[in-house]
Every structure is written in structure tokens, then in C-alpha cells.
Amino acid sequence: MPQSFHNLYTHDFVRVAVAVPRCRVADPLYNAQQTIALAEQVAAKGAILAAFPELGLSAYTCDDLFHQRALLDAVQVALGNIVEASIRIPVTMIVGMPLRVDHRLFNCAVVVHGGRILGVVPKIYLPNYNEFYEVRQFSSADDAVATEIELLGQRVPFGADLLFQAANLPLLRFHTEICEDVWVPIPPSSYAALAGATVLVNLSASNIVVGKSDYRHQLVGQQSGRCMAAYLYSSAGRGESSTDLSWDGQALIYENGELLAESERFQDDSHVIFADVDLERLSRDRMRTNTWGDSMRRHAQQVAAFRVVKFAVELPVQDALPLQRSVARYPYVPANPAVRDKRCMEVYSIQVQALVQRMGAIGMKKVVIGISGGLDSTHALLVCAKAMDRLDLPRTNILAYTMPGFATSTRTLEQARKLMEFVGCTAHEIDIRPSCIQMLKDIGHPYSEGAEQYDVTFENVQAGERTSHLFRLANHHNGIVIGTGDLSELALGWCTYGVGDHMSHYNVNASVPKTLISHLVRWVAESRQFGEGDSQVLLDVVNTEISPELVPGKANDTAPAQSTQSVIGPYELQDFNLYYTLRFGFAPAKVAFLALHAWKDRSSGAWPEDAHVVRNQYTLKDIKQNLGIFLRRFFQSQFKRTCVPNAPKVGSGGSLSPRGDWRAPSDAESVVWMENLKTVPDA
């Protein structure tokens, strides 16, 4: 069956659901009807896995009615109705029910798919404290003797050691536990995850008391994070007995510690939540985390004890099925303003702390920095200023140099002057044109004879002269050169190798992407990090065209003539490509699929809170073209990344230091990545 690029299942996502049906106590047929109705809704949305509440077919609050044969027989009839309905509903359903096995009663999760009962999982930990009295009615899975049972005429695996594997979706392996099982110090799902389960399911009833909802979030979120798994959590809602308790029907879906979906609590009607789980992301996190493998080895006995039940799922892959999860356009920059401010504060503090440590370790009290009037050098200067404050040194110990060249605009030159005044550093200005002309003469470049030849040599002579001046100035004044180039430029090779902006004594910006630097500078201005002085110059820098300013323009020189992004692509797209390539190792086709979802037209805009954010839109053709630029430049410029200066890592999105997150050969081929990119359609 051909798979559509625009279908989430093509890219190793799976749509899952948690359903909370309205129930009636001790009315299994009614409860089965509600379950089937919700399963039909789940299938209509393209989801293939749905979890329902603990003991949902009978209701959790039956108490001693669980020992009544009439109820237990009726529950089996209700299960039969669900099994029959599953023939026409392409959803794997996990439903809760009481079940008699070997003269004992177990609280069970039953996995139903395609007219089959795939397995029955009994609850291990039975709470018998506070309002819970489960030991009165049920036996623990630890007391079970049988490993297979007869149920509705089918021979069915039975036990808490079952994993369920989708044969035609290899990354989907799920495990089921029941309520209290996740509240204990070592939940059964911890071992199940080590045994390969990527989706963990909890059928819970869970009455509500004050504060319990928040604790569920902590519990489920932490378990999904520790297990690098998705976690589906259900609880009982309207219809359970209110004799002594109340029920809020909370449903949660987490992925590796991140909340994907949550239901509204205290609803009167049946309800269901959906989420698209990225199975590849979970698998890749486990693969690269070597301590995950160490844990598998350490608990090899528990891991080996699991039995795997394989089944084939019906995947709706032939038609378009877009994602229903949020994909941030700016993965390095939180959309929420409060979270973004906190992130900026932390990143800024990491950079400052690193520079303070480096200066203290080498006994230097002065720094030398080049100021262009652009984003990167502005932020690096702000870091230097705060570091001097932390070291109780005067900001005049920052020796800042602006070095206008052949293409420096009046706008950036004035911004550089104002920035140095704003910070209070020692400001200098060196015109590099005479030394550049001498260099061009020495090497016989046509520009020295009057020709307008603005080639890479012409550009790099200027970049090299600036860096050469800075290093000699550092020697002369007993200081260190602070690098200003950022992570995005390093990824794209947008730096002059060796004697150029590629080199410094210490680079405070090397793992900060361009999209984040613009917000850092804005945050410094708006949060008054430097007091109540006029910080308009910082906002002016943010709003200036990003440019190397190495090639003169034909018109006036009031603004930068060159546009960096016209050559290497929009930084907002290239940072997106960098994040998903570096952090997760996704293939280009998946990166493009995610980018299309992130950048598709949204009536509300990307960040409706921020008037200053330009809400650009990109077609799939745009995304494919710029991803091609990214891949070519990323591979071609690896040699520049094998010898970069020391720099602090600031985020989990990674760095490109050969001593840190990224070790790669300089002569690797990009062929397989470019071939994969060809599978992306133009529309």
C-alpha cells in the first residue's frame, strides 16, 4: 500500500487516545455501549490505540458486588460485545474488567483487536489503605498461577508480563499497568520500557481529592520522562458511585516528560483525548543514551521475563493525515512569554558564568572584542559586561573595537558606537581598509587595481584583517579575544576559517542559535538588565538586516547591502532544520514534514502574544529548497567544526563542539541525506 508523505504514520508517529466513558455502576452492557461509541470516535480520527478506565465495564465502585455471579457473567457478555465490535472498528482497545481465573478474582486490563483478545493483564499492586479496599475483592497478579486462560472461546495470554507489539509498526510496543501500579517506588512499566515498550498505558479509576490532579501530572510526567516513553493515563468519570467519593475523569497523555493532551475534568458526558506520539523520537533518545542500555543490562532478568504478543494493525497510510500535535516553529525559543523570559535569563547566566570561570582560571582581567553593530557581537558584548560586573572589574576592561570596512553601513557603524557607549566599555575604532588594500595588493587581487571584483577573497581579506587585529591587540593589552559567532553560523559554515571570525580565545555564543540570540538581546533591553538607561540601541540591532557587510552596495550605505539569509536561507527555517537534525538525527523527509506542520498557515499566527514577531509562511517547496541548502552546507563545513575554540554548551538542543555533542568526519558524504530529501514532494 503506497504511503502518503502527508500522513503522520509515514513518519513513525502513532495517534493514540484515552477515553473516559460515562458509566453506570453494575450495568456492563450500558458501559460496553459507551465504550464502543467512543472507540468509533477514536477510529474516525485516525487513532489506532485507545485506553479506557480501570474496571470500566463494571464500574470501579461495585465493592462487594464484584463477588456476585450475575455481575461477573454480565461483564463477560459485555466484553463479547466489544470483541465483536472490534472486527469493524480498526482500534486496539484496552478495557478494564473483573475476571475470574482459577477460583480467584483479578482486576484486569483486556487488550482487544480485530475480533481477538490479544491478552489479559492483571493488576499487581492492590491498594488497601485510606479509601481503598481492593484486597477485599481482588487477588494480585503475583498470586496468579495460569499464564494462559480460556476467555470467550479464545486461548489468551494472561499475566502482568505481557508486551504487545504491532508487527507492521515496529516502534509501537505497548505495556499496560493498572492504577496503583504506577504509584509504587518501582512501577512495572519501568521494566517494560527497558524491555522495549515505547507506549505505557495505565487504566485507572482514581477518585479525586484536593491536589491529586497536580500530583497525577507529576507522577505520569516523571514516569514518561524516566522511561523515555509515551504514557497514557485514564481515570473514571461521571457515573461512578458518590457514596463516599467523587470522580473527575482526568485523562492525560505524556511523551518523555512533555504533556501532549489533557482532558477537561468533571465533564458530564463521555469524552476522549488524542495525541500523536513520535515513536522515532523516543527510540532515538534511548539509542543515544548509553545509560539506558546499562539499565537494560543491570535488570536483564526482569527484562527477559516479558512475553511479547504480536499483532498486525490497520494503518491509514494511503491518505493525508496531518499531525494534531503542536510543533514549535522556533524549537530553541519558547513561545510562552514567561517561559521565554526564564529561558533567556538562564542562557544569559550560563554564558556569563562560563566567561567568569574562564577569566578566573587563566588570570586574565581584560577581554578584546570586535563590535560590528550586528546581533552576535552585541550579545557577546552584553555577556562580557555582565561578567565584568560579576568579577568586580570595571567595564573599561572590555576593549571593544569597531572596524569599518569597504561595505560597513552608517547604520551599523552608529549602532556599534552607541553600543559601546551604552555598555561603558573602552571603545576604539580602527579603519581596516588601508590594511586590506595592502593585503589585496600583496596578493595581486584585481580590486587593488580598481576592478569591482567582490569575490570570496575580497570578503575574507576583511574578515581576516579584523580577527588578526583583535589577536594582536589581545597580545598587546594582555587580554583574550572573545568570539561572537553563533551556533547557526557554525552549522552552516558561515564563518571565515582560521584567521577570521571562526577563531577566538573563547566564544561565548558558539552554542546559541541565531533565533535565540535575537530574543536574548531583546530580553536584555526589555528587562532592563543594564538599569534604566536608554536601551533603544539594542532594539535597533534586533531590527537590523543580518549581514556580513563585506560587499559594497550600489546605492547609499545607510543600511547593510548584503543579506545573509538570501544566501544561506532564513535562519528561522535553518535553525528548525538544525534542531531536528542535530538533536534527534531525523531523516530530511521527516524534518520537512515537521517543518510543513510548524509553518503552515495558522489564523492565530505563530505567537499571537508578540506583535514584533513576523509571521512568515513557507510552502513545502520552500522548505525542501532550504533544507537542501542546510544539508549541503552542514556537511561541507564540518572541517570548520573540528577545531573550534572552547565555548559553553547552553541547551539540550546540542552544540557542535568536537569535544562535546558532535563528533563527525570532515570528509563524510551527504549523498544519503540528499537522496532522502528527494522523496519530499514539492507540494
Residue range 488-515: mean pLDDT, rounded: 96
Our CA dihedral for 190, 195, 198, 201, rounded to 10 degrees, sits at -50
Torsion 179-183-184-190 (CA) sign: positive
Measured CA to CA, the distance from residue 149 to residue 99 in angstroms comes to 11
pLDDT in the model for residue 611? 42
Q: Cα–Cα distances in Å, from 515 out to 329, 332, 518, 522, 553?
A: 10, 7, 6, 11, 26
pLDDT, tens digit, 9 for 90 and up, residues 82-107 = 999 999 999 999 999 999 999 999 99
Comparing C-alpha atoms, which of 530, 297, 280, 195 is closest to residue 521?
530
pLDDT in the model for residue 486? 97
Measured CA to CA, the distance from residue 161 to residue 184 in angstroms comes to 17
Question: At what angle are helices 620-636 and 588-599 packed, to 10 degrees?
Answer: 140
Measured CA to CA, the distance from residue 102 to residue 93 in angstroms comes to 25
Q: Cα–Cα distances in Å, from 26 out to 34, 60, 80, 237, 241?
A: 14, 9, 17, 15, 10
Q: Do 318 and 2 form a contact (C-beta atoms < 8 A)?
A: yes
**pLDDT higher than 60, residue 603:** no
pLDDT in the model for residue 600? 83
Residues annotated within a binding site for deamido-NAD(+):
460, 489, 494-497, 640
Confidence category of residue 290, pLDDT binned at 50, 70, 90: very high
pLDDT in the model for residue 317? 84
Other beta carbons less than 10 A from residue 245's beta carbon: 17
Measured CA to CA, the distance from residue 208 to residue 59 in angstroms comes to 16
Please report, rounded to a whole number, the percentage of residues in the chain having pLDDT higher than 70. 97
Type and span of the H or E element at 445: none
Residue range 309-333: mean pLDDT, rounded: 93
Please report, rounded to a whole number, the percentage of residues in the chain having pLDDT higher than 90. 92
Active site residues: 54, 123, 179
Domain boundaries, the chain: 13-311, 337-679
Quote the cell numbers at residue 611. Answer: 506583535
**pLDDT higher than 90, residue 551:** yes
pLDDT, tens digit, 9 for 90 and up, residues 370-424 = 999 999 999 999 999 999 999 999 999 999 999 999 999 999 999 999 999 999 9
Q: Are strands 162-166 and 307-311 parallel, antiparallel or unpaired?
A: parallel
Measured CA to CA, the distance from residue 634 to residue 643 in angstroms comes to 15
In DSSP notation, 524-593 reads HHHTTTTTTS--HHHHHHHTSPP----S--SS-SSS-S--HHHHH--HHHHHHHHHHHHTT---HHHHHH
pLDDT in the model for residue 614? 52
pLDDT, tens digit, 9 for 90 and up, residues 419-468 = 999 999 999 999 999 999 999 999 999 999 999 999 999 999 999 999 99
Residue range 127-143: mean pLDDT, rounded: 94
Q: Mean pLDDT for the chain?
A: 94
CATH superfamily, region 337-679: HUPs (3.40.50.620)
Confidence category of residue 281, pLDDT binned at 50, 70, 90: very high
State phi, psi for 141 to the nearest 5 degrees: -60, -30
Residues annotated within a binding site for ATP:
370-377, 484
**pLDDT higher than 70, residue 602:** no
Q: Do 270 and 21 form a contact (C-beta atoms < 8 A)?
A: yes
Q: Do 419 and 541 form a contact (C-beta atoms < 8 A)?
A: yes
Q: What is the CA radius of gyration of the chain?
A: 31
Quote the cell numbers at residue 215. Answer: 500530583
Residue with cell 525542501: 624
Quote the cell numbers at residue 575. Answer: 535553525
pLDDT in the model for residue 609? 41
Comparing 2 with 334, which gets the higher pLDDT? 334
Residue range 177-184: mean pLDDT, rounded: 97
Q: Are strands 367-370 and 480-483 parallel, antiparallel or unpaired?
A: parallel
Residue range 491-516: mean pLDDT, rounded: 95
Confidence category of residue 654, pLDDT binned at 50, 70, 90: confident
Residues with Cβ within 8 Å of residue 551, at least 6 apart in sequence: 406, 407, 454, 458, 459, 561, 562
For 13-311, the fitting CATH number among 3.60.110.10, 3.40.630.30, 3.50.50.60, 3.30.1280.10 is: 3.60.110.10
Comparing C-alpha atoms, which of 189, 197, 151, 145 is closest to residue 171?
197
